[in-house]
């Protein structure tokens, strides 16, 4: 139960970090909700996946980036300027999720 709650907390923090700039830019609520849910669920995937024995610090960034690619491709169709920040945030937050999970769980 403790692991589940800590994973939820990591997801809520990552989601909040991602959506704060979105709220500031006044993006639509569906985009904000989608981003929050993505980063809320991502720690469950990152912390339970074994990716070809990748180092723990690399696994989060690779997984975060891979999971975000379909969304980024879809968004890039309408707004090409959003793709680079989304790529960066998915890699950075994925890495931070992996680091947090390694040290907290």
Q: Read off the pTM.
A: 0.92
For range 2-10, the mean pLDDT? 96
Q: pLDDT tens-digit profile of 7-26?
A: 999 999 999 999 999 999 99
- Predicted local confidence at residue 56, as pLDDT: 87
What would you measure as the largest C-alpha separation in the chain, in angstroms?
41
Q: pLDDT tens-digit profile of 40-98?
A: 999 999 999 988 888 888 999 999 999 999 999 999 999 999 999 999 999 999 999 99
| CA dist., res. 89 & res. 85, Å (int) | 6
């Amino acid at each position: 139960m403790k692991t589940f709650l800590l994973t939820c907390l990591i997801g809520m923090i990552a989601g909040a970090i991602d959506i704060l700039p979105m709220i500031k830019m006044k993006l639509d609520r569906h985009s904000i909700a989608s981003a929050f849910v993505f980063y809320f669920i991502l720690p469950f995937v990152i912390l339970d996946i074994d990716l070809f024995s990748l180092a723990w610090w690399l696994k989060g960034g690779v997984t975060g980036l891979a999971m975000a690619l379909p969304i980024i491709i879809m968004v890039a169709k309408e707004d090409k300027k959003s793709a680079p920040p989304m790529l960066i945030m998915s890699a950075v937050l994925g890495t931070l999720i992996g680091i947090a999970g390694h040290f907290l769980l």
